[in-house]
Chains A and B, each alone.
Chain A
Amino acid sequence: MQAIAEQKSIYLQDYEARSAQLDEPKWLARLHRHGIERFEAQGFPGRTVEAWRKTDLTPVLREHFVPSGGPGQVDSGLIEKAGALGKAHRLVFVDGWLDPGLSELGNLPRGLTLAPLSEYGERLPAVIQDALGAFIDTASHPFAALNTAFFRDAIVVHAARGATIEQPVVLVHLLTPGADRRAVYPRAVIIAEEASQLRLVEQFIGADEPFVLNCPVAEIVARQGANVDYYKVQEEGAGSAHLGAVHAEALRDATIHMHSFACGARLARTDIYANLIGAGADVTLNGLYLTNERQYCDHHTWVNHKAEHGTSRQLFKGVLQGRSETVFDGLVKVFEGAQKIDARQENRNLLLGKLALAHSNPRLEIHADDVKCSHGSTVGQLDDEALFYLNTRGIGFDDAQGLLTFAFADEMLKPIRLDALYEYERQALFQRLPGAEMVREMS
């Protein structure tokens, strides 16, 4: 307990030192203050907090992560990755600092606002101010609280009523060795107005060496009839910790498709909250995690059906190698009166490493009687019979493993509706497959 109390005060001290220097609008200062208060009220979660029981935060608690003080040197490999998704409206942040040179903000189409908060000064539109920090649950998520206390410059993404944004918006968060033992707090607020359409990728990449604490938060609102695709690609360096949260709010007849691709960081966790608050809302949460060595990768989801005629689909798949450990923990909650909803939740894990460990905990909590809900989970190895069958056709052991693993994972890539991202994730998948060369040639 002693240690935890001490941790709290360090982050509070950082906050106080920082807020003394900042000259920011009152409402924003209030939001930051709210964040640190929420953090102070809970501290870092111990193993007794149910939602954090399996997440071993020891390496994070041992360090004191001061907020990143400026951008570090970016190597060419990372720059290439930052541009890998091709034509896009792109904002690139280096160690939490906007890099205008790497960003591409030319030719923003009518109906799309994409800008850092700092550009607005005092004249922030109410719709953005009202949404920022309005949804994410800082009371029960200490890292979202820390983000709220410390985020520097939130990213504002706004699609106007009826606008169809053709090109994807890509937010790149890049971590360099300069951010070693620093904390980065990326923050995005994404608003799709009535009947608008928006596709967005948040890409987290980084060098392998630094131990960065990265705590991103994204809040997404899809208003009536809006259609939002949100892709999160977490491919950070092998030494980092990524503790993020995404909150999605779907209003009447809105559709939100989320896809989480996670293969980076030493310790990674993404908590996804989806509220279906308007009738007929439709939310999809997909995930693919690929882990190796001693990586830990965790997805927690909370899908709240608060209105009738909602649909939610969740499918998370994991491919585990080495001694890696993964968690999928999902709760689908159907509130009273949320009749005629259709909710599915599934988690499937493929263990390639004998010492790998996959935890799976899909849960349902139903307070309405006329609903269709299903959930399930599997943890298994490659089918020996299928491997042998492939072998008898001349396909070697590694290639057979690669082929079957690719087929398992590809189901999660197929629904990606951005060709460049599909190709990007496929390449990331190939890099981690046994016998990848053959699989790559073949597909």
Chain B
Amino acid sequence: MALLEIRNLRAKIQGVEILKGIDLAIERGETHAIMGPNGSGKSTLAKVLAGDPSYEVVDGEVLYQGRNLLDLAPEDRAREGVFLGFQYPVEIPGVSNTYFLKAALNAIRKYRGEKELDAMEFLQLIKERAKSVKLDEALLRRPVNEGFSGGEKKRNEIFQLAVLEPYLAILDETDSGLDIDALHSVAEGVNSLRNEERGFLVITHYQRLLNYIIPDKVHVLLNGRIVKSGGKELAEELEESGYALFEDAAA
């Protein structure tokens, strides 16, 4: 059974169809990359998978570990192990990063019938994970993403990923806007979390991230459709020729 299987997924926002029939399967342990120009529907796909209520799924299905993902509320998707790293992480004034993560982790553990962590265990865990993704510890006490730099926000997403340990991680342009150091530590963070069980869907606009996170498969998304899939060499091809090459296929 595939970890994630998307079949003919079509989705609308405000009456406009953005995803026009997506097919994609990710096995456990695999890392897939989705590349595509701005506006091609990458974030839409990510948000639909995470359950953003502003999108309307008009056709198709998504199976996650054999279950119908689209039937689940967004919080239950998270509890089942789906994680979305946002392209634009949201600021939550007045709620500290620590508090927020504790609520998240314990909600997930409770759902799975696991014991909630006590304050000490939790603090130990987040300190260790913050270190592993080189997140400044001071940011733990600050309100979620508020006043964070672009790089800090992205790192914070990877930090949450490291704490919540999902089975499927969808990372939406986690690389954009990062300097080379940040890019390195984000990639390191992701690579250290790759294992037999876990799948990654790495969405990116540029090929450079894929020099550090080597994908098993690359898909090109154009105008709401996957127009080509291939191995990691497809990313290099794109880097050289640009998306123009595929535009005929998308039309």
**Contact among A397, A441, A443 for B75, CB-based, below 8 A:** A397
Chain A hits for B53, CB < 8 A: 384, 388
Q: Within 8 Å CB of A241, what residues of B?
A: none
Cross-interface CB contact of B102 among A388, A404, A442, cutoff 8 Å: A442
From the candidates A394, A406, A407, name the one contacting B79 in the complex (CB within 8 A): A394
With beta carbons under 8 angstroms apart, the residue of A385, A393, A397 that contacts B164 is A393
Contacts A404-B92, A407-B93, A408-B94 hold; do A394 and B108 have CB atoms under 8 A apart?
yes
Contact B94 A392 (CB under 8 A): no
CB pair A384–B54 under 8 Å, yes or no, is yes
Q: Is the CB of A395 within 8 A of B103?
A: yes
* 10 more A-B residue pairs beyond the given contacts A393-B107, A396-B107, with a C-beta to C-beta distance below 8 A: A386-B90, A390-B92, A391-B73, A393-B104, A394-B104, A394-B107, A396-B75, A403-B103, A438-B107, A442-B102
Main secondary structure on A side of the interface with B = helix
A384 to B52 Cα, complex, angstroms? 10
Nearest CB in chain B to that of A435: its residue: B103
Residues on A with C-beta less than 8 A from B90 are 383, 385-386, 388-389
Choose among B73, B94, B99, B107 the residue that contacts A399 (Cβ–Cβ < 8 A): B107
A contact residues vs B (CB 8 Å cutoff): 383-386, 388-397, 399-400, 403-404, 406-408, 410-411, 438, 441-443
A395 and B75 contact, CB distance less than 8 A: yes
Given A392-B83, A392-B84, A394-B164, CB of A411 within 8 Å of CB of B94: yes
Tell whether, in the assembled complex, residue A392 and residue B100 are in contact, meaning their CB atoms are under 8 Å apart: no
CB <8 Å contact, A394 and B95 = no
Determine the distance from Cα of A395 to Cα of B78 in the docked complex, in whole angstroms.
8
Q: Is the CB of A389 within 8 A of B75?
A: no
Minimum Cβ distance to chain A for residue B215 (Å): 23
| Bound form: Cα–Cα A407–B164 in Å | 23
Q: Which residue, B91, B95, B108, has most C-beta atoms of chain A within 10 A? A: B95
Contact A391-B95, Cβ < 8 Å, known A396-B75, A396-B107, A397-B73: no
Q: Which 10 A-B pairs have the closest CB atoms?
A: A407-B94, A393-B104, A394-B78, A391-B74, A389-B90, A394-B108, A394-B107, A391-B75, A396-B75, A407-B95
Q: Give the CA-CA distance A406 to B95 in the complex, in Å.
A: 9
Contact A438 B103 (CB under 8 A): yes
- B154: shortest Cβ distance to chain A, in Å? 14
Bound: A441/B101 CA distance, A: 13
Interface residues of B in 88-118 (CB under 8 A from A): 89-95, 99-108, 111
How distant is the Cα of A406 from the Cα of B143 in the complex, in angstroms? 13
Closest residue of chain B to A414, judged by CB?
B94
Q: Are B100 and A393 in contact (CB under 8 A)?
A: yes
- Taking CB atoms, residues of chain A closer than 8 Å to B107 are 393-396, 399, 438
| Contact across chains for A386 and B92 when beta carbons are under 8 A apart | yes
- A394 and B75 within 8 A (CB): yes
**B residues whose Cβ falls under 8 Å from a Cβ of A:** 50-54, 73-75, 77-79, 83-84, 86, 89-95, 99-108, 111, 143, 160, 164
Determine which of B78, B86, B94, B108 lies in contact with A391 in the assembled complex, contact meaning CB atoms within 8 Å: B78
- B79 CB to nearest A CB, Å: 5
Contacts A386-B90, A407-B94, A408-B94; A391 near B99 (Cβ below 8 A): no
Given the contacts A385-B90, A407-B93, A408-B94, A392 and B99 also touching, CB distance less than 8 Å? no
Chain B residues near A404: list those with CB within 8 A: 92, 95
| Docked pose: A186 CA to B101 CA in angstroms | 47
| Distance between A357 CB and nearest chain B CB, rounded to angstroms | 24
Nearest neighbor of B93 in chain A, beta-carbon distance: A407
Residues of chain A within 8 A of B52, CB atoms compared: 388
Is B83 in contact with A403, judged by CB distance below 8 angstroms?
no
Q: Which residues of B contact A383 (CB under 8 A)?
A: 90
User: Contact between B75 and A410 (Cβ–Cβ < 8 Å)?
Assistant: no
Chain B residues whose C-beta falls within 8 Å of the C-beta of A386 in the assembled complex? 90-92
Measured CA separation A410–B164 after assembly (Å): 27
Report the bound CA distance from A421 to B111 in whole Å.
Answer: 35
Q: Which of B53, B74, B90, B101 has the most CB of A within 10 A?
A: B74
Q: B101 — which chain A residues lie within 8 A by C-beta?
A: 393
Q: In chain B, what residue has the closest Cβ to A396? A: B75
CA distance A192 to B78 in the complex (A): 56
Residues of the B chain whose Cβ atoms lie less than 8 Å from the Cβ of A438: 103, 107
Q: How far is the CA of A389 from the CA of B75 in the complex (A)?
A: 10
Q: How far is the CB of B195 from chain A (nearest CB, A)?
A: 21
Q: A407-B93, A407-B94 are in contact. Are A392 and B74 (CB under 8 A)?
A: yes
In-complex Cβ contact of B95 among A384, A396, A403 (8 A): A403
27 of the cross-chain contacts (CB-CB < 8 Å) are A384-B53, A386-B90, A386-B92, A389-B92, A390-B92, A391-B75, A392-B74, A392-B77, A392-B78, A393-B78, A393-B107, A394-B75, A394-B78, A394-B104, A394-B105, A394-B107, A394-B108, A394-B111, A396-B75, A397-B73, A397-B75, A399-B107, A403-B100, A403-B103, A407-B143, A438-B107, A443-B99
Query: Complex: how many Å from CA A246 to CA B15?
Result: 54
Instruction: Specify which chain A residues have a CB less than 8 angstroms from the CB of B160 in the assembled complex.
Output: 393
In the complex, what residues of B have CB within 8 A of residue A443's CB?
99
Return chain B residues, CB-CB under 8 Å to A397: 73, 75
Report chain B residues within 8 Å CB of A389. Answer: 86, 89-90, 92
A328–B52 Cα distance when bound, in Å, is 35
- Please name all residues of chain B whose beta carbon is closer than 8 Å to the beta carbon of A400 when the two chains form the complex: 75
Give bound CA distance, A400 to B101, whole Å. 12
Bound CA–CA A443/B106 (angstroms)? 13
Bound together, the chains give a CA A443 to CA B104 distance in angstroms of: 13
B95 contacts which chain A residues (CB < 8 A)? 403-404, 407
